Structure 1
Amino acid sequence: KNRITFTAGNHDLMFYYFIKHPSSPLGKSWIYNGSETTLDSYSNRYKEMNLHLNYIIKAPLILNLDDCFVSHAGISAFFSRKLGKKPLDDPVKLKSIVESDLNSEHGILWTRDKLMNLGKLQIVGHTRVDEVYYDKKSNVLFVDTAACTGNKLSAAIIDKSNVVETLSVETDSRDI
C-alpha cells in the first residue's frame, strides 16, 4: 500500500493536540499557527480528519536510516553533553531525550539552534531556507524551502549518506 513515512513536526502535532487535547501547551499554541485554514479545509470531512490525526500521532519523531537521520527540526547542539560524541550509538537514550519535552525551544519540534554533527547526514525541515542548504560542519541538509509561504517544495535523493540530487517544485498558490 502506501510506503511513505514522515516525521511529525510542530504544526502536525499542534493540530493533533488542538483537536484531541486542546488545553495542552501544543494544542493551545495552534490557534496562532494555521488552525483556521486547516480546519476550513476539513469542513464536513471529519472522518478524513480523524484518519489524518491518527496518521500524525503514529508518525515517528525521528528516522534513523542507514543513509541518514531525519527529523523535523534536528538534534540541537544543546544536547551534546547529554548525548555524548556518538548520539546514535544509544538509540534508547536519544529517543528518551527527543520525547522528553516536545515544547522545549531546543527540542526536535522547535529548535533553531546549531545542530549536532551526528556522524551521519542529518536531514531537517523547520528552519526555512530559500534553497536546499548543506551545512558541512554539522553535516546537516536543510530542506524547508518555505512552500507554505509560496516559495517551493523541496526534497533530496540520498545514497550512502551522500546527496545525489535535490528536487524542487514551485508552490501552487491553491495549495497554500
Structure 2
Amino acid sequence: MPHLIWLAQRPLYWENEAVFVSHAGLANTPNPLDEDDQDGVLWRRGPLRNIGRLQIVGHTPTQDCRPAFDAAHQALYLDTGAYMGNCLTGVKLTADGEVLEYIAVDTHRTDISFR
C-alpha cells in the first residue's frame, strides 16, 4: 500500500529540454495531458507526435518484448510485457537523452495479476 500512495503523489510526466517521460506519450490529440483522455498521456496506444526531443514511454508492449526506438517520432518504447511474465525494463540515460544502459528485472510470478 505505501507504494500506491507514493505513486499517486508522482507528477503526470517528467521533462527537461531533451527528454519527455510519461506513461503513454504525447500524440496529436487536442488535450494530451488530460488524464481522462483515452488518447492522452496515460492511455495512448499507437504512434506518438515528434516533439523535437526524446519521448520515453511504456503502456504498450513492444512486439518482441524488447525496448524499441522509433526514430521518426523520437520515441523510446520500454514496455517489455512485464504483466505477461516478461521482464520489467528501465533505461539509464544522460540529461541530454543519450541511452547509457537498459535495465531489465525479471518479473516475479506473484507480481502478475491473473484475471
Quote the Cα distance in structure 2 between the aligned partners of 1:119 and 1:126. 21
CA–CA separation in structure 1 for the residues paired with 2:93 and 2:7: 24
Query: What is the DSSP-based 3-state SS (H/G/I as helix, E as strand, rest coil) of the residue aligned with 1:155?
Result: strand
Partner letter of residue 110 of structure 1?
W
> Greater strand share, 1 or 2?
2
Counterpart of 1:78 in 2: which secondary structure?
coil
Structure 1 partner of 2:37: 104
Match of residue 63, structure 1, among 11, 14, 23: 14
Greater share of helix residues, 1 or 2? 1
Alpha carbons of structure 1 residues 71 and 106: separation in structure 2 relative to 1, 3 Å: same
| 1:67 Cα deviation from its structure 2 partner | 4.2
Code of the residue aligned with 1:155 in structure 2: it is G
Q: Which residue of 2 aligns with 1:146?
A: 81
Q: 2:66 matched to 1:131?
A: yes
8 Å Cα contact 1:106/1:113 also seen in 2: no
Matches within 5 A, 1:6-21: none
Alignment partners' CA distance in 1, 2:11 and 2:70: 24
Separation in 2, partners of 1:66, 1:174: 38
CA distance in 2, matches of 1:164, 1:137: 21
Residues 32 and 39 in structure 2, CA contact (< 8 A), matched pair in contact too? no
Matches within 5 A, 1:61-100: 61-79=12-30, 98-99=33-34
The structural deviation recorded for 1:52 is 4.0
Deviations 1:129-148 (A, max 9, x none): 11000000000100011111
2:67–2:80 Cα contact (<8 Å) kept: yes
Number of residue pairs matched?
A: 109
Q: CA RMSD in A?
A: 1.9
Give the corresponding residue for 1:175.
Answer: 111
Unaligned 5+ runs, structure 2: none
Runs of 4+ off more than 4 Å: none
The residue identity in structure 1 corresponding to 2:29 is F
Percent of aligned positions that are identical: 36
Mark the structure with the bigger radius of gyration.
Answer: 1
Scaled by the length of structure 2, the TM-score of the pair is 0.82
- d(CA) in 2 for partners of 1:137 and 1:53? 35
